[in-house]
Chains A and B, each alone.
Chain A
């Protein structure tokens, strides 16, 4: 039996200016219309650039004609790149925002976890927050009472249940929040990447809880970037791309399809397509005649297999396949690892070792950069890849690809909890002096 039926779902976002947003501007525009003079606000825009105006007023379809049927008890993974429409779909399913066209029919109660701990108030005690958060998520008071001990137990905060949550550690906070959510008993549960929080043990506990829930015959929609979690947890999956369902099927196939397509490929007209690509070209670039055509960028492991999740004890290989269209002087490939604010925090260049200085003949090339083992911490790493012919053209691909590392250190039995980018092995020593 189908529990969710998404039929011809469209969602439109308008980019840029609709109303001017402030009453004064709207009144000004209205007044100028009344007097028949030129609208002072529109003039502002036409002065800039007609092309830009067109762009700012353009509509943007975040979801285009989505049709999905979900069966009861299914564990559906939804994957896709940033901006593919995953969050929009989730928001509509969660009724945070309404679709523009089409409809979703639902059988049973639907609860969504776009975030854990929504509505938590720091001044309130754990107990009070369980009730508040539970109610926000749609549980009745009796339901919460019945589940209360279980929730407290699951979160492991028994002693602190009457302490204000502002005194909780961040780990306890997250555990309590997830515990409430995990004890929701809706027929359909929509989960965003809330599992990206907490330590390894807790993450496994959460994944376990989710598969337990689905065994009880309830349906779960799981949105994630974590391919291994999707593979482990989900039975079926869909890939969203540009607001459309690009692929659907068994979870394993879907993940494989996604990983393949998330490497950069090139269509016949020479445009780089696919991937989380923003072609962000700076400098003097003749768009019709670029010096380089990037065929693909992909990440592999030791065995030359495409991979996105790594153990910190393994090296990571960034591979490039590109064509140089004309002879150029100084060619560089630069890899930057981006911090949370999008600024590079580590940079490495093809020419660092001095081997590949000098000019490059036209032709097809492959290049590979090895990021050493025992360098990274536990997190997702986003990359900026730049290809440049110095003083000629810069081709910059921001956040085109990313990989995830799980920190693994045999001599530490606990998960690394601090939120740092790098955790290299430095030489330490300790001497007893007296």
Chain B
């Protein structure tokens, strides 16, 4: 009697712990193993890398396999340029995959200081006063206000792909697409401008503050591991 109870308790404990284990780690699939191998390869280098999990809707900032920070992702969608009347088809994304940033806002959005001439440096004995710690209560200099970090930007990825990071999805209804198409057609006829030929891309929708947080990370060489693992 007592033996059967013990067996039952053991069975229950085993079921409970194994279900806990499953909650912590996704089941071992071929894709999961490949993603682990890809991450192990990224973590070998002393660089920051990003891991986007489409199933958990989270973008992790990582280094050496540890999570430094997390950014919740509100949506991730495919983006393509096509005639407004063509029926939209879902975009397939083979996962796991590693994208590499070719050019991002972290490379391009920079303020430049370029003095035109230089005057001779002040000699030590010509200094008006020796630098000293600022006494309490003395106003300290404030830097020139910097322009606010954009919350909508595009990142060029290797393999002719684009990633749009945005805090607001562009209007995607038929009417909006029609108006946009008319605008592009008008520009083409009147000004001779060709419609933009963006390669296929992906739109990552995040909070405004999170888009700004990620802005400087998207620079040349940044690696982005994309998986759909869940947890």
A and B pair up: no
